[in-house]
Amino acid sequence: MPLYQYTAMDSTGKEQKGRKEAASEEEVATFLKNQGLFPTSIKSATKGGKGGGKDGKGGGGGGFNMNINLGPMVIKTKDLTIVTRQMAILLEAGLPLIRSLKTLSRQSKNPAIKKILDETASSVEGGATFSEALAQHPKSFDKLYLNMIRAGEAAGKLELILDRLAMFMEKAAKIQGKVKSAMVYPIIVLCVAGIICAGLMIFIVPKFEKMFTELLEGEPLPMLTQIVISIGKFMSEHYLIMVGGIFGLVILIKIVLKIPFLRFYIDWVKYNMPLFGPIVSKSAISKFGRTLGTLMGSGVPVLNSLTIVKETSGNEVVATAVVKVYEAVKEGEGMAPPLQATRIFPEMVISMIEVGEETGKLPEMLDKIADTYDEEVDNAVGALTSMIEPIMMVGLAVIVGGIVIALFMPMITIIEKLGT
């Protein structure tokens, strides 16, 4: 029987290679599927040698194959949103799934999109479902995406689900962009202010210290001047320690953020902090409502939906609240009481969820909650921007002004000496 060389992916996305004797490629594909694998490549091979040629040195004319693995390719969220929207349009127009995948692959200039769509089309051709084929690329398609695709396949409304997915990702990206813009502006201002102050302390202050030593001949300097000079001297002499300390702090923060216990308290502080707290909390509520409403509205079971919401919340405070809701729903209770007990959701949200449960229109109510809090985030970002500009300007003026005053206070004594 002919020998075939195959490449397949397991349920975790790990690549496996091997050989199989079979009557045809289709028989190899069936064998792999029965083993829980999804074929991505099946090629004819000979028994001669490791390289596939009879002489053991290579296949097809004595050449050699060199595979360079640059790591798994990933479709970025922005690109995935566009691909999802395009896929929905093609399916709605009546094109078969495989042809839609190949059409998008052929049109795309992004190598990651081309590779993943080609592999997905091959898997579907080999007998896998669309969701099974997408599951081989977990870094590109998260659990929310896969569960919605499975729901769409079960209901026979894949194009509708893809459209909902695209809409969900577009709105999520929009609100995330607004939150980032609110956070980026003060960070940039603080960095610029830090660079200006560091420049003054390292390069300007030491020159004034030398001048004061020569002209004042041992007279005591004002306390503010002594403090500024001491800080400037330390910064100029130990700048490497300071740079290392900054890098060390960044690494420490990254390590701390990976510890679930500490992440909860950090997220709690972010959730309740002044100025930024309202934006963090409102965006978290919006994401909770949008994700849960989209999943339930697409036909994903409520317990599965809550599990996905927990895993994709991005906030340990909300994730902990969702766990309590999950346990309550599992026991046959409603969502409103456990959400109210967490004390992190406003009464308006609790009331709307309660009404949604009573009327049987919870997904629609959750979408309305998300829309409402999207607008709230807009307003909070605008309010923060209008408040933070004068606060930062005043803060920067106080710091720079304090340095300037500290340096000019001894100048008064020097001028008086020169005048006498």
Helix (H, G, I), strand (E, B) or coil at 335: coil
For 33-88, how does the pLDDT look when each residue is reduced to its tens digit (9 = 90+)? 777 776 666 777 754 444 444 334 344 443 333 333 444 578 888 899 999 999 99
Nearest of 393, 417, 14, 410 to residue 213 by alpha carbon: 410
Centroid of chain to Cα 411 = 53
Neighbours of 374 (CB within 10 A): 20
Same domain? For 112 and 203 the reply is no
Print the SS3 string covering 249-314: HHHHHHHHHCCHHHHHHHHHHHHHCCCCHHHHHHHHHHHHHHHHHHHHHCCCCHHHHHHHHHHHCC
Neighbours of 182 (CB within 10 A): 22
Of residues 38 and 201, more confidence is placed in 201
Token match 């009327």: residue?
Answer: 359
Same domain? For 230 and 379 the reply is yes
Query: Which alpha helices (DSSP H) does 126-204 contain, by range?
Result: 130-134, 143-155, 158-199
The pLDDT assigned to 118 comes to 92
Q: Range with the lowest mean pLDDT among 83-97, 148-162, 173-187, 235-249?
A: 173-187
With a cut of 80, say whether residue 142 has pLDDT above it.
Answer: yes
Same domain? For 253 and 399 the reply is yes
Distance between CA 145 and CA 164 in Å, rounded? 11
Domain boundary among 15, 43, 68: 68
Q: What percent of the chain has pLDDT over 90?
A: 9
93 Cβ neighbours under 8 A, 6+ residues apart: none
**Which H or E run contains 337?**
helix 336-342
Q: How many domains does the chain have?
A: 3
Contact status, residue 113 vs residue 83, Cβ threshold 8 Å:
yes
6: domain range?
Answer: 1-68
Q: What percent of the chain has pLDDT over 70?
A: 90
Token match 């599951």: residue?
Answer: 135
Q: Angle at which helices 277-297 and 316-330 pack, to 10 degrees?
A: 40
Same domain? For 297 and 389 the reply is yes
Q: Span 154-183, mean pLDDT?
A: 84
The pLDDT assigned to 23 comes to 76
Same domain? For 183 and 287 the reply is yes
Distance between CA 175 and CA 373 in Å, rounded? 10
Same domain? For 403 and 345 the reply is yes
For CA atoms 253, 256, 262, 264, the dihedral sign is: positive
Distance between CA 203 and CA 101 in Å, rounded? 60
Domain boundary among 169, 190, 210: 169
Same domain? For 279 and 394 the reply is yes
Nearest of 371, 256, 263 to residue 319 by alpha carbon: 263
Same domain? For 117 and 60 the reply is no
Same domain? For 284 and 353 the reply is yes
Q: In the numeric block, which tokens belong to residue 399?
A: 């710091």
- By CB atoms closer than 10 A (0-12, 13-18, 19+), residue 305 is buried
CATH number of domain containing 95? 1.20.81.30
Would you give the DSSP letter of residue 55? T
Domain boundary among 33, 68, 103: 68
With a cut of 70, say whether residue 419 has pLDDT above it.
Answer: no
The pLDDT assigned to 56 comes to 40
Same domain? For 180 and 165 the reply is no
Instruction: Order the strands of the 3-9 sheet from edge to edge.
Output: 15-21, 3-9, 38-45
Q: In the numeric block, which tokens belong to residue 81?
A: 């949103």
Question: Buried b vs exposed e over 137-159: b needs ≥16 C-beta within 10 Å?
Answer: bbebbeebbbbbbbbbbeeebbb
For 223-252, how does the pLDDT look when each residue is reduced to its tens digit (9 = 90+)? 888 888 888 888 888 878 888 888 898 898
Q: In the numeric block, which tokens belong to residue 15?
A: 């690549």
The pLDDT assigned to 352 comes to 92
Q: Range with the lowest mean pLDDT among 171-175, 369-373, 385-389?
A: 385-389
Contact status, residue 43 vs residue 141, Cβ threshold 8 Å:
no
Same domain? For 202 and 349 the reply is yes
Same domain? For 23 and 95 the reply is no
| 369 band by pLDDT with thresholds 50, 70 and 90 | very high
Beta bridge partners of 3: 21, 45
Q: In the numeric block, which tokens belong to residue 254?
A: 């990254």
**Which H or E run contains 219?**
none
Of residues 419 and 284, more confidence is placed in 284
